[in-house]
Amino acid sequence: MLRTTDLAEALTLAEKLLSVAFWYRENACYLDAWARNDDELRRLTGAHPGAEIRWSGGRDGSFPANVSLGVQAVAQAGSALRAWSDITRSYVLWHDLKWPAVPELGLGQEYKYAELQVACNSHDIRCEEWAAEHTVFIHARPGQDERAAWLAAQVGTRVVGPPEFGW
């Protein structure tokens, strides 16, 4: 939906999109990052000591390690994401929300596939490849590209790339 070098701009757009959504569970938001070495892991957990670490292959000390943090509010998500974006690629994902019905497009409310994501330093949803920009993704039911375009229009923007197959 948006690619920008300005993380504040990406987070502002995410907040606007969240205001269009119907919440199912407001605290259903988390951050994910991957530590590729001891220094990154130390810096990520130092920035947020409550973060959970899951080791690659289930073995302690096997990099990359997934570092995850649950957050309660948009401001908290933004603060945590800013800290982690200086260390490595990371993302914040809001899930358990509902996209509204769009009767003129024949679309009912969407819960199952409704998610919103800001990927830091990456153009892909899994943050596998580094980029100088941050990307805002709308997750919607496969084949409902018009929902993403409608949501973008509600916040004064447009879809900037092709659909990407998600989780």
Tens of pLDDT, residue by residue over 36-79, are: 999 999 999 999 999 999 998 777 778 899 999 998 888 888 89
What pLDDT does 122 receive? Answer: 93
Are the C-beta atoms of residues 22 and 101 closer than 8 Å to each other? no
What pLDDT does 99 receive? Answer: 95
What pLDDT does 163 receive? Answer: 80
What pLDDT does 72 receive? Answer: 81
What pLDDT does 1 receive? Answer: 82
What pLDDT does 96 receive? Answer: 87
Alpha-carbon gap, residue 107 to 89, rounded angstroms? 34
What pLDDT does 167 receive? Answer: 59
What pLDDT does 91 receive? Answer: 95
- 3-class secondary-structure state, position 41: helix
Q: Is pTM, for the whole model, over 0.75?
A: yes
Helices (H), the chain: 7-20, 38-47, 74-85, 145-154
What pLDDT does 101 receive? Answer: 96
Question: Within the chain, which residues score under 70 in pLDDT?
Answer: 24, 26, 166-167
